[in-house]
Amino acid sequence: MSATTLSPPRRRRARLVRYTKRDRAALSLMAGVPLLLSLAFVWLPALATIALSFFNWTGIGGLSDMKAAGVENYRIIFGIYPEFPPAIEHNLLWLGVFFVVPAPFGLFLALQLHKQIRYSRVYQSILFLPVVLSLALVGFMTELVFSPTQGLVNNLTGHAGQSNLIDWLGSPRLNIWAVLIMACWRQTGYVMILFLAGLKSVDPSLQEAASLDGANEWQAFRHVIWPALRPINIVVVVVTVIESLRAFDIVYIVNQGTNGLELLSTLITANIIGETSRIGFGSALATILLVISLAFVLPYVYTTFRKDTRS
Amino acid sequence: MTAATYTGASAATEPARNRPRNRRGIRPARVLLHGFLIATCIVWIAPVLYALYTSLRPYADTQKQGYVSVGGHYNLTNYANAWSEADLPLYFKNSAIITIPALLVTLWLASMVAFVVARHSFKLNLLMLMVFTAGNLLPQQAIITPLYKLYISVPLPSWLSDSGHLDDSFLGLILIHVAFQTGFCVFVLSNFMRTIPHEITEAARVDGASEWRQYRQVVLPLCRPALAALATLEFTWIYNDFFWATVLMQTGANRPITAALNNLTGQFFTDNNLISAASMIVAVPTLVVFFVLQRQFVSGLTLGANKG
């Protein structure tokens, strides 16, 4: 049959390997135990999130206290829950800013540092420093930098006095920007490192050829480097999306995600560890976050591994 | 060495193309570039230097002279106060109890899965890779609600948990770190293991080595560079975790230091000088990674990205 002749020889050879009973058991355990752990602690909760979103359930009660609620939770979220529109808005703003600032700026820095210039390693290290710091620590840094009377920004610009105080973290119009500046501070180094690795894998003879053909810097970038960076571009897009959906720590440290800093992640958290824990309602919010992230993650993972097995 | 010879070679070909920009000597474009990079780096390091500088000054002096000023006393009093008053050694110990086992178990489990996935061709391999990788990419908040319910209802003996349940226990935090981080490590390690020639394990198999021995004595030793890179990266990520510990570890005294700091501000750390000192102390393990293990950290990140 044509199907058998089409199957790659690698597969066929591998099928010939006969495993002993012990080997079979060993391999099953080696893959099975971690798989069980991942299913039990990640995927089961993910499915449960969706299921629970159709119930009403307070945190204290047992399973018997669960009441079917249909789409009631969603109706409340989209209809009358006042924190939801700002949260979605802030998540989108976060995503937009991450695409517009750290992604291109990280690429620009990587391109500059990839040129054989002196002190390149020193520049790289300094720009990379925030990446090793925890996001929680970046939250404290945000307070240090933007604190109205004790902060760096107001003291440098002469706004720390009582008469002309700029309340960066207290004003609901300003605080999201203060937080975003610090988030970009960390994200840029991350993106830069990813692009630098991508640039190292671009064949230098391609660039050589381009400059011999008289291409200027922009043309060489546009027609040689950018197409060669495609795999890393996809990674950067995924990292950017995931990091903006995960955004939580900085905002939670500044004011627990209230008063102008609402995010989907903080609303979910507030609904389980607040005084009134609302499991069903929190799950409905989490389902929205889950669906948005899966819409990015699944196609990415699927295409990555499809390609992998074909090559 | 190679970099130097490479630039030498390209510089030799340049004059033929008549491009004075690349000739030796002062090049305005390069000066501009260095100026730009220096300015950027100053902005980048300013918050850290400001925190460091503030942490070395007594509160009274900064009150009198302002935060952006020179003069007054410089000492380590803030560090001593932060260290002893807020009981930081306790939280460092908590971080160690959580981070080290979680890191070791994650690498161990992930290397086993990667061995099965990368060195064999079972039908389920592709699906397994997807399950692990996608699991690691989910936002933690998307799964926390049922996870929290699960944690407060699974009973544990009292020597493992103060609350009698999986929440508030070191074991609970270790488990979620392992389950979550295994995904990334499987992805990186299976990419790495695929680059090891098949002949090596084939030879071992012919010699009668079991699958376990092939994993333990042939493949695993060859993965040392990837394991070192991942260990650095995972240490930093697990140590830096804030979210899991904040939600799943609600008893303050059991929290790892990254999450504990949040509770301590306002309680012990009242002024920015003390907060700066405490932040600096908390950053020490990650700064060690930055200064000593930066190469491993970066190669761990890029091992994950490059094959993606």
Highest mean pLDDT among A226-235, A281-290, A296-305, B264-273: A281-290
pLDDT in tens, B76-116: 999 998 898 888 999 999 999 999 999 999 999 999 999 99
Q: What's the pLDDT score for residue A249?
A: 95
Q: What's the pLDDT score for residue A217?
A: 83
ipTM, two decimals: 0.88
Q: What's the pLDDT score for residue A241?
A: 93
Asked whether residue A14 carries a pLDDT value surpassing 70, the answer given is no
Average pLDDT of every residue of chain A: 87
Highest mean pLDDT among A75-84, A210-219, B263-272: A75-84
Across B162-190, average pLDDT:
91
Report how far residue A56's alpha carbon sits from residue B184's, in angstroms, rounded to the nearest whole number: 34
Q: What's the pLDDT score for residue B267?
A: 75
Closest-approach residue (CA) in chain A for B8:
A116
Report how far residue A16's alpha carbon sits from residue A6's, in angstroms, rounded to the nearest whole number: 17
A–B interface: beta-carbon pairs under 8 A: 306
The answer to whether A148 and A208 have CB atoms below 8 angstroms apart is no
Is B184 exposed, middle or buried (CB count within 10 Å of its CB: 0-12, 13-18, 19+)?
buried
Subunit contact A185:B116, Cβ cutoff 8 A: no
Encode A52-63: b = buried (16+ Cβ within 10 Å), e = exposed. Answer: bbbbbbebeeee
What length is written for chain B? 308
Interface of B with A in 78-97 (CB under 8 A): none
Chain A positions in Cβ-Cβ contact with residue B265 (cut-off 8 Å): 140
For chain B, domain boundaries: 82-306
Subunit contact B142:A46, Cβ cutoff 8 A: yes
Across A281-286, average pLDDT:
93
pLDDT in tens, A114-165: 988 888 999 999 999 999 999 999 999 999 999 888 888 988 888 877 788 8
Closest-approach residue (CA) in chain A for B239:
A134
Report how far residue B176's alpha carbon sits from residue B104's, in angstroms, rounded to the nearest whole number: 14
B262 — pLDDT class (breaks 50, 70, 90): confident
DSSP state letters, A87-156? HHHHHHHHHHHHHHTHHHHHHHHHHHHHS--TTHHHHHHHHHHHHHS-HHHHHHHHHHHH-TTT-HHHHH
Chain A positions in Cβ-Cβ contact with residue B147 (cut-off 8 Å): 41, 45
Identity of the amino acid at A266: T
The reply to whether B295 touches chain A by the CB within 8 Å rule is no
Would strands A67-68 and A55-56 be described as parallel, antiparallel, or unpaired?
antiparallel
Q: How far does A173 lie from chain B, in Å, by closest CA?
A: 23
Chain A positions in Cβ-Cβ contact with residue B138 (cut-off 8 Å): 42, 46, 290, 293-294, 297
The domain at B82-306 falls in which architecture? Answer: Orthogonal Bundle (1.10)
Subunit contact B134:A116, Cβ cutoff 8 A: no
Q: Which carries the bigger pLDDT value, residue B129 or residue A7? A: B129
Q: How far does A39 lie from chain B, in Å, by closest CA?
A: 8
Q: What's the pLDDT score for residue B90?
A: 93
Q: What's the pLDDT score for residue A275?
A: 67
pTM of this prediction exceeds 0.90: no
What length is written for chain A? 311
Q: What's the pLDDT score for residue B2?
A: 34
The CATH number of A83-277, from 1.10.3720.10, 1.10.4030.10, 3.40.50.1260, 3.40.50.300, is 1.10.3720.10
Report how far residue B133's alpha carbon sits from residue B195's, in angstroms, rounded to the nearest whole number: 19
Report how far residue A293's alpha carbon sits from residue B76's, in angstroms, rounded to the nearest whole number: 45
Within 10 Å of residue B216's Cβ, how many Cβ atoms?
A: 15
Report how far residue A145's alpha carbon sits from residue A160's, in angstroms, rounded to the nearest whole number: 12
